[in-house]
């Protein structure tokens, strides 16, 4: 059985990183290497996100709430107002929002056909955080 965090790691994490990279490069005019440094990935990874060769398993571009979280996260990165300690919970908040909204359910079902997505409330009812 595949737990939701495994699906998030395989699909959501790259999609969110791709959106953050795009926000940094388009809105804040950063080069790929600069965006990579802020996000904590390599420049080739940013290139793959940019060419939609990575981070394309789920399209989150049209979700306004996720978009606002991405914009806010990118702004924190640009301003340098985010410590390593705060980076992880802020990133996890984006993932929790995606999961709570049910945006990951179809992906989960593709990875694990036994998952019942019709009446599942696991991700939407989670009140605990991934990290302490």
Alpha-carbon gap, residue 132 to 123, rounded angstroms:
18
* Structure confidence at residue 126 (pLDDT): 62
* Structure confidence at residue 115 (pLDDT): 84
DSSP for 37-80, please give it. HHHTS-HHHHHHHHTTSSS-SS--TT-HHHHHHHHHHHHHHHHT
Instruction: Please give the C-alpha separations between residue 34 and each of 52, 55, 77, 95, in angstroms, as whole numbers.
Output: 19, 19, 11, 23
For residue 127, pLDDT beyond 80: no
Q: How confident is the model at residue 119 (pLDDT cuts 50, 70, 90)?
A: confident
Instruction: Calculate mean pLDDT across residues 63-81.
Output: 94
With tokens 């390599």, the residue in question is 42
Q: What ranges do the domains of the chain cover? A: 4-111
Q: How confident is the model at residue 3 (pLDDT cuts 50, 70, 90)?
A: confident
Instruction: State the chain's mean pLDDT as an integer.
Output: 89
């Amino acid at each position: 059985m595949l737990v939701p965090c495994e699906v998030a790691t395989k699909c959501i994490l790259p999609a969110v990183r791709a959106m953050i990279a795009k926000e940094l490069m388009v809105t804040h005019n950063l080069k790929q290497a600069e965006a990579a440094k802020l996000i904590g990935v390599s420049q080739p990874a940013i290139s793959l996100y940019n060419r939609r060769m990575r981070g394309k398993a789920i399209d989150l571009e049209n979700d306004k709430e996720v978009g606002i979280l991405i914009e806010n996260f990118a702004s924190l990165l640009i301003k340098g107002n985010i410590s390593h300690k705060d980076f992880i919970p802020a990133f996890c908040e984006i993932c929790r929002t995606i999961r709570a909204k049910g945006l990951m359910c179809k992906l989960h079902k593709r990875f694990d056909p036994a998952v019942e997505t019709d009446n599942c409330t696991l991700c939407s009812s989670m009140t605990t955080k991934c990290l302490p």
